[in-house]
Amino acid sequence: LVVLDLSTGDRIAVQPRFTGALLIDSGQLAESQRRYSTLAFLLSDGRKLHYRDVRRLGTVSLMSPVRWEEYSGALGIEPLDPTFDSAYLSGLVRGSRQAIKKLIMDQRQLVGVGNIYANEALWDARIDPSKAANSLKPAEIATLRDAIVEVLNRAVEARGTSIRDYVDSTGERGGFGPRLSAYGRDGLPCERCGAKLIGTHAIDGRATVFCARCQS
């Protein structure tokens, strides 16, 4: 979720989903980069901000201050917020029997943990994605919290993950893809123990890749 604050007090909430991206155009973008632009904003400095979405799965919503309060009040916190600590995550898992992967991807609980980063964080934390959230031990919760933050920080540093169509705000592909240890590697050896990684859609209907040997 990307939120743009306007001088009017309104906000624009962009949910890019799988192929959406915001591109800043100072005249340098090639026609191929603007091809799937579905919306363009003229900025005060003369540049344009394009919303590009190849598969048109994302949404762009203009919200008044009142509507924003209602909308944001239903969202969880962002994992890079200082208040996201082990105690906070412990509170989320305590009353939930759903798979831990589903829980950390639920925008009502946490904002910003997409499918790719959920796979990576759970692999880093050595936790089975299908494990019931309320069965996690305190040490596992602490490890998972740290893994979520670490994975997101690494992804931000690498400007995101380009599996298919994602580009960053300058039109460049993200650099985190080659660093993935789980997502997209089903059938390949686990980088940690060498066992073959397993791919499934049974947990939440999304692609999940994990190591049955070292994730428990």
> What pLDDT shows up at residue 177?
67
Do 118 and 200 share a domain, yes or no?
Answer: yes
pLDDT along the chain (216 residues), means of 10: 92 87 83 82 91 89 96 94 96 95 96 92 98 98 97 81 60 69 94 97 94 97
CATH code, 157? 1.10.8.50
Do 43 and 99 share a domain, yes or no?
Answer: no
Do 112 and 203 share a domain, yes or no?
Answer: yes
Do 102 and 8 share a domain, yes or no?
Answer: no
What phi and psi values does residue 214 have, to the nearest 5 degrees? Answer: -110, 5
- From CA 125, how far away is CA 143, in angstroms rounded? 6
Do 91 and 50 share a domain, yes or no?
Answer: no
Residue type, position 31, single letter: E
Cβ neighbours of 26 (radius 10 Å) = 11
Enclosing domain of residue 65: 2-73
Number of domains in the chain: 2
CA distance readout (Å), 3 to 11, 62, 94: 7, 10, 30
> What pLDDT shows up at residue 193?
97
Do 54 and 94 share a domain, yes or no?
Answer: no
Residue type, position 65, single letter: P
Q: Of 38, 73, 108, which residue is a domain's last?
A: 73
Residues 11-32 pLDDT 10s: 999 988 878 888 888 887 777 7
Domain membership of residue 215 (yes or no) is no
Do 55 and 116 share a domain, yes or no?
Answer: no
Mutual orientation of helices 138-157 and 86-94 as an angle, nearest 10°? 120
Domain membership of residue 152 (yes or no) is yes
**Unique residue bearing structure tokens 């298919």:** 164
Q: Of 73, 105, 124, which residue is a domain's last?
A: 73
- From CA 101, how far away is CA 182, in angstroms rounded? 13
> What pLDDT shows up at residue 6?
93
Do 24 and 63 share a domain, yes or no?
Answer: yes
- From CA 198, how far away is CA 187, in angstroms rounded? 6
209 bridge partner residues: 199
Do 117 and 180 share a domain, yes or no?
Answer: yes
Domain membership of residue 42 (yes or no) is yes
Do 94 and 193 share a domain, yes or no?
Answer: yes
**Unique residue bearing structure tokens 């829980």:** 103
CATH code, 34? 3.20.190.10
